[in-house]
Amino acid sequence: MSVAGDSETVTRKIEGRVLFGRPSRSWYTGWRERLWRVVGGVSVRTKILGIVLGLVALLGLVVTFQVRAMLIHVLRDQLQQASLSVSHDVAARSTDLVLINDLYALNRLLQDTQQHNLDIRYLFVLDREGQVLAHTFGTGFPLTLLDANYVADGNSSNLRPLQTEEGLIWDSAVPIFGGRAGIARVGLHEEGLWRTVNTITAQIILSILLLSVGGVAAAYGLMWLLTRPILDLAAATARVGAGDYSPQVGRWANDEVGDLTEAFNAMVARLAQAEEERSERERIRQFYLARIIHAQEEERQRIAREMHEETGQALASMMVGLRNVDEAPSADETRERLQLLRQVLATTLERVRRLAFELRPSVLDDLGLVPALRRYGQEYEARFGIQTEVQAVGWDGHRLGPAMETAIYRIVQEAMTNAAKYARCHHVSVLLQVRDEQLSVIVEDDGIGFDVHRVLSAEARQTKLGLYGMQERAELVGGRLDIESQPGMGTTIYLRTPMLGDLLAQPALGA
């Protein structure tokens, strides 16, 4: 570079410094001053409006993009998991249908599954040779799907995205019966995913617009900020008055309004707790009311069955006997038939008395649980010829509450009746023991026993009587019923329930 050129450059720098002073600092100061003149030239409302709208717009954009991205990721992950879950469910439920070759039921299973899940685009089941057994395509099965997904072995599943004309579909393949019965394939499309994402995005944008409108209103109502705590308290009070105890008003300042806010929040918390306790009591009341009604209906069914099977048949026999008496050819024959009728009548009367005793034995109300069970044990032994023993330990001549006495009596009665009907036993023992504020009842027989799990499952599905009813009665008094039995080993029934204040002070007469 020449000396003349260097001189011109130095001269220009010197001239610039003389004309403009310090150029960098001067430019910054001038920009700041011009900006301040522009900002200072508008009203305070405009300043606040600009800040509010700018922050809302920036926050809205950031939140919208982040929420949309996270929502797509989460929903897509859920869709993949749902595809695998539905495939495993279809594979498990179709195992028996494939093995017995029930194609109609298999098709119904696939149709029902698709109807209950709007995201399912298709379902189909392949046998182990790769032949289609059932599918949900109405017009025809697309053969290109057969090779679109596979499972490597009989113990694994595979999930694969398929790009179709309808969009992305997540295809899952799950082996049936370890791959020995075939493969279940399920395809879930992303239409619902994008519909949800777009709906939520639209809602977020709408919320941002509403927030912008709110910001404008706030900018033109600065004085409203001074009364906002009062407005919040009024709105929260209205919600509490409508039965919503969730609002909590934030404390804005440590003044009288802040103290009022704290007192209001404490009041709402106490009201919410009281409402929760009331709801819980109501729920418990409804629960036990339903159980009581259920137990009453069970008892009515049992009485109606016994009236029909025993008393009804006996009365029908008496009607036939009376007709035979009327048609007797001689006085001796008439007396003989009348004697038979007396025997039938005596038997029927005894059955009615026994039914009345089983319905509500008066000794249970008059003397208490232990005397009632001993009385029932005597009648049980006389009726069925089974040696019966009833013992009470730690009882000390006290009474239980009526509800608990009735429930325990019915449980023991049902257990002994089952032993007489099904156990083919020779001895039944009943033990009642009170220890550490807990009542234990043990009913044991030396009969043939049974498979507890099978019998309980059958009764729960079909009649809900018998052993299942005993369990329900135990739950009504807060107890637990356990049944131990094996074929050929007899049966033992354990009932354990806390006394919970039900042990009354007055002694039972004759206990």
Q: Are residues 282 and 305 in the same domain?
A: yes
Give helix 256-306 / helix 331-359 axis angle, nearest 10°. 160
In a domain, 370, yes or no: yes
Q: What is the CATH number of the domain that holds 484?
A: 3.30.565.10
Domain encompassing residue 396: 364-507
In a domain, 500, yes or no: yes
Q: Are residues 354 and 386 in the same domain?
A: no
Q: Are residues 348 and 368 in the same domain?
A: no
Burial class (CB in 10 A: 0-12, 13-18, 19+), 430: buried
Q: Are residues 305 and 419 in the same domain?
A: no
Question: Where a domain ends, among 359, 388, 412?
Answer: 359
In a domain, 207, yes or no: no
Q: Are residues 174 and 78 in the same domain?
A: yes
Query: Do residues 54 and 219 make contact, with C-beta atoms less than 8 angstroms apart?
Result: no
Q: Are residues 119 and 157 in the same domain?
A: yes
In a domain, 136, yes or no: yes
Q: Rounded to whole angstroms, how far apart are CA atoms 242 and 245?
A: 9
In total, how many domains does the chain have?
4
Q: What pLDDT score does 270 carry?
A: 85
295 φ/ψ angles, rounded to the nearest 5 degrees: -65, -40
b/e for 97-131, b at 16 or more Cβ within 10 A?
bbeeeeeeebbebbeebbeeeebbbbbbbbeeeee
In a domain, 220, yes or no: no
Q: Are residues 165 and 87 in the same domain?
A: yes
In a domain, 324, yes or no: yes
Q: Are residues 72 and 148 in the same domain?
A: yes
Q: Are residues 498 and 475 in the same domain?
A: yes
In a domain, 423, yes or no: yes
Q: Are residues 230 and 264 in the same domain?
A: yes
**What tokens were used for 443?**
């009913």
Return the closest-CA partner of residue 325 out of 316, 315, 338.
338
Q: Rounded to whole angstroms, how far apart are CA atoms 208 and 63?
A: 10
Q: pLDDT tens digits for the chain (511 residues)?
A: 444 444 454 444 444 444 444 445 566 677 777 777 776 666 545 666 677 777 777 888 888 888 889 988 898 898 888 888 988 999 899 988 888 888 899 899 999 998 888 889 899 998 888 888 899 988 788 888 888 877 766 668 888 888 888 888 889 999 988 888 888 999 998 888 888 889 888 888 888 888 777 766 766 665 555 556 776 777 888 888 887 777 777 777 677 767 778 888 888 888 888 888 888 778 866 776 676 677 677 767 777 776 666 666 777 777 777 767 766 677 777 777 777 777 777 777 777 766 666 666 777 777 888 888 998 899 889 889 999 999 998 877 677 888 888 888 889 988 998 899 888 999 999 999 988 888 899 999 999 998 888 777 654 444 445 676 788 788 878 888 999 998 888 999 999 988 754 444 344 433 3
Question: Where a domain ends, among 326, 343, 359?
Answer: 359
Question: Where a domain ends, among 343, 359, 375?
Answer: 359
Q: Are residues 477 and 434 in the same domain?
A: yes
Q: What is the largest CA-CA distance in the chain?
A: 166
Q: What is the CATH number of the domain that holds 181?
A: 3.30.450.20
Q: Are residues 372 and 502 in the same domain?
A: yes
In a domain, 57, yes or no: no
Q: What pLDDT score does 448 carry?
A: 92
Q: Which residues is 124 bridged to in the sheet? A: 135, 185
Query: Do residues 308 and 338 make contact, with C-beta atoms less than 8 angstroms apart?
Result: no
